[in-house]
């Protein structure tokens, strides 16, 4: 096995909004030496906001709206983190990100337990057999009993768990955690800038009382005995096969329990795995390069209006200035300035290995899901666009800025934030999204990044579905009869805009030879 491949760890951090993903990402970067001071995400006193939330709108609202990619070196490993948005309006971005990672860390709030968004994301992990580690955050606040939390994780996420660290009390009385994996004690001091001390303690000895007091020492011994009795021994293979999820406790804000998580993670997490293409399975150690685009971001640098396409390297070695084939167009491209990221800061690289995420400058060439190879015709799948559930007409609010508005809409749609349909009846542009918040983000970004103003007009639609049929005549009859509900997407495919569930089911009954699709990948 190539040593470069075996030292790569690529993972996503996922959770419900506000469980502390971005804070955890930031503390991991602190250990990787990428940032020197951890600024609390919401603190006004520290002007430095979270590194991974770099868009203006993210800083204002204190939420992540786009996946950020960051990488650092840690004890000989190369770690690639993808910090994803937790808000369900941006779930599509997160689903796509999960196709580009080898494992995931799920963050759970100790007081709230498992929330709806976490369940959805876990379903995607289960489908793809992605190994997960669970980090129970905010132990320095009052929350649920740790054993109740473990039961809830098992029943809600449908996966067996095995604690690898255990909290000593919580909230005001939180004394620290006992690291079961390394068998030592970590004592808690609530200080954001200092890493906690580790104490090697024999659980049976009286030394334990000296550190945590008599009652807590007794409770800890009883808890550990119970854990060994109830939960199976931890086997790394069970974790890699996604049959069991190791659990860690801590407080990301106070930088507590994070290092234990990272140390165990780099040791047991999988290195890059084979990726399924339509034609065959692609192994990371193959000599020839292949990779796919899973995300496009407009305006990483507002001064340059540039788009960046994120490419996950699946096999071989990516080399700067080498010719690579863009399979969808059959074109050969060379990249003179491929970059690697630290959220918004980026640096040019000469090579990349499987597991790495490379930023390629994009002037409208790429689409999400594109494959790059050294000449072989491969298609990596599994990056669908979902059928939108909210629709609005987008209108130009400043006729002097028509050109900027069109450019802005085009680049933002390339990102896959939302979908654009052109109504065949009146030629108006309709934007479809999965959540209300996306309309606000689009409006904000058009104004601040492109200098274009738009206004929304209501339209009542139930769902958009792509239609196709082998029966040409029936398809034409359908289009004529539903003329005012027909639209085209950006690829020029036919889309039927149903205004109610009843209308959709009637259409499906009346036209039996027409296939209705609810994702764009068919």
Nearest to 114 by CA among 143, 94, 91: 143
Tokens matching residue 16 = 């419900």
Nearest to 23 by CA among 46, 11, 40, 36: 40
Give the C-alpha separation, 243 to 130, whole Å: 10
Nearest to 308 by CA among 365, 356, 361, 352: 361
Instruction: Return the pLDDT at 205.
Output: 64
- For the chain, percent of residues with pLDDT exceeding 90: 3
* pLDDT classification of 44: cutoffs 50, 70, 90: very low
Instruction: Return the pLDDT at 42.
Output: 38
Q: Provide the mean pLDDT of the chain.
A: 78
CATH of 275-373, one of 3.40.50.300, 3.90.650.10, 3.30.300.20, 3.100.10.10: 3.40.50.300
Instruction: Return the pLDDT at 239.
Output: 87
Instruction: Return the pLDDT at 199.
Output: 63
Instruction: Return the pLDDT at 343.
Output: 45
- Work out the end-to-end distance of the chain between its first and last CA atoms, rounded to an integer number of angstroms: 36
Higher-pLDDT residue of 475, 344: 475
Give the tens place of pLDDT for each residue, 218-245.
888 888 888 888 888 888 888 888 888 8
321 burial (CB, 10 Å; 0-12 / 13-18 / 19+) is: exposed
Residue 16 has pLDDT above 50, yes or no: yes
Q: 339 near 359, Cβ under 8 Å?
A: yes
* Ramachandran quadrant class, 149 (left: phi over 0; alpha: psi -120 to 50; beta: rest): alpha
CATH of 3-268, one of 2.60.40.1180, 3.30.70.100, 3.40.50.200, 3.40.50.300: 3.40.50.300
DSSP secondary structure, 462-507, as one string = -EEEEEEES-HHHHHHHHHHTGGGEEE-TT--EEEEESSHHHHHHH
Instruction: Return the pLDDT at 306.
Output: 67
Give the tens place of pLDDT for each residue, 370-428.
888 888 888 876 555 666 778 999 898 888 888 989 888 887 777 766 888 999 888 89
Average pLDDT over every residue of 177-195: 66
Instruction: Return the pLDDT at 65.
Output: 44
* pLDDT classification of 39: cutoffs 50, 70, 90: very low
Give the C-alpha separation, 369 to 295, whole Å: 8
Helix axis angle, 116-128 relative to 146-157, nearest 10°? 60
Q: 293 near 369, Cβ under 8 Å?
A: yes
Higher-pLDDT residue of 487, 81: 487
Nearest to 101 by CA among 9, 5, 4: 9
Instruction: Return the pLDDT at 47.
Output: 38
Nearest to 22 by CA among 2, 6, 43, 3: 43
Give the C-alpha separation, 102 to 500, whole Å: 40
Instruction: Return the pLDDT at 522.
Output: 43
Where do we find the tokens 């390629």? Answer: 360
Instruction: Return the pLDDT at 48.
Output: 44
Give the C-alpha separation, 259 to 484, whole Å: 59
Domain spans in the chain, listed from the N-terminal domain onward: 3-268, 275-373, 390-517
Residue 90 has pLDDT above 60, yes or no: no
What Cα–Cα distance (Å) separates residue 263 from each residue in 30, 32, 79, 81, 142?
A: 14, 11, 12, 15, 27
* pLDDT classification of 309: cutoffs 50, 70, 90: confident
Higher-pLDDT residue of 1, 431: 431
3-268 shares its CATH topology with 390-517: no
Higher-pLDDT residue of 136, 181: 136
Residue 38 has pLDDT above 50, yes or no: no
Q: What are the helix (H) ranges across 49-142?
A: 56-61, 91-98, 116-128
Strand positions, DSSP E, 61-145: 68-74, 77-83, 103-109, 132-137
Instruction: Return the pLDDT at 54.
Output: 43
Give the tens place of pLDDT for each residue, 127-150.
778 899 999 888 878 888 888 888
Secondary-structure class of domain 390-517 per CATH: alpha beta
DSSP H or E stretch at residue 441: helix 436-450
Instruction: Return the pLDDT at 198.
Output: 61
């Amino acid at each position: 096995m190539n040593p470069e491949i075996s030292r790569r760890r690529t993972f996503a951090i996922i959770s419900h909004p506000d469980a502390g993903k971005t804070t955890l990402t930031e503390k991991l970067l602190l250990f990787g030496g990428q940032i020197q001071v951890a600024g609390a995400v919401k603190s006004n006193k520290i002007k430095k906001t979270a590194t991974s939330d770099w868009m203006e709108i993210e800083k204002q609202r204190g939420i992540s709206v786009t996946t950020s990619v960051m990488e650092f070196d840690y004890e000989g490993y190369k770690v690639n983190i993808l910090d994803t948005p937790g808000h369900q309006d941006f779930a599509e971005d997160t689903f796509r990100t999960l196709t580009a990672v080898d494992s995931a860390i799920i963050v759970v709030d100790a007081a709230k337990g498992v929330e709806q968004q976490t369940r959805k994301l876990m379903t995607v992990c289960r489908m793809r057999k992605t190994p997960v580690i669970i980090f129970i955050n905010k132990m320095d606040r009052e929350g649920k009993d740790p054993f109740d939390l473990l039961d809830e994780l098992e029943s809600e996420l449908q996966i067996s768990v095995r604690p690898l660290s255990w909290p000593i009390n919580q909230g005001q009385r939180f004394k620290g955690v006992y690291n079961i994996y390394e068998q030592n004690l970590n004592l808690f001091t609530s200080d954001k800038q200092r890493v906690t001390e580790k104490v090697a303690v024999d659980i049976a000895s009286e030394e334990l009382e000296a550190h945590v007091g008599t009652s807590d020492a007794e409770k800890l011994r009883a808890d550990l005995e119970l854990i060994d009795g109830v939960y199976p021994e931890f086997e790394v293979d069970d974790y890699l096969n996604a049959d069991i999820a190791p659990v860690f406790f801590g407080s990301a804000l106070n930088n507590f329990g994070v290092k234990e998580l990272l140390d165990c993670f780099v040791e047991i997490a999988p290195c890059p795995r084979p990726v399924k293409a339509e034609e065959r399975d692609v192994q990371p150690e193959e000599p020839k390069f292949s990779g796919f685009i899973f995300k496009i971001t407009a305006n990483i640098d507002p001064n340059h209006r540039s788009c960046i396409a994120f490419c996950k390297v699946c096999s071989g070695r990516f080399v700067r200035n080498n010719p690579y084939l863009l399979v969808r167009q059959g074109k050969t491209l060379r990249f003179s300035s491929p970059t690697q990221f630290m959220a918004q800061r980026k640096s040019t690289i000469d090579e990349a290995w499987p597991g790495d995420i490379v930023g390629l400058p994009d002037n409208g060439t790429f689409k999400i899901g594109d494959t790059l190879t050294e000449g072989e015709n491969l298609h990596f799948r599994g990056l669908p666009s979902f059928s939108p559930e909210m629709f609005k007409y987008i209108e130009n609010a400043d006729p002097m800025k028509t050109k900027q508005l069109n450019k802005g809409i085009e680049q933002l749609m390339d990102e896959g934030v939302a979908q654009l349909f052109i109504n065949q009846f009146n030629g108006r542009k309709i934007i479809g999204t999965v959540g209300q918040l996306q309309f606000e983000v689009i409006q904000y970004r058009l104004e601040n990044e492109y200098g274009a103003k738009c206004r929304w007009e209501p339209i009542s639609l139930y769902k958009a579905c792509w239609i196709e049929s082998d029966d040409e005549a029936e398809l034409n009859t359908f289009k004529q009869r539903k003329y005012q509900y027909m639209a085209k997407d950006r690829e020029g495919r036919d889309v039927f805009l149903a205004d109610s569930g009843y209308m959709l089911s009637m259409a499906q009954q009346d036209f039996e030879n027409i296939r209705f699709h609810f994702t764009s990948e068919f």
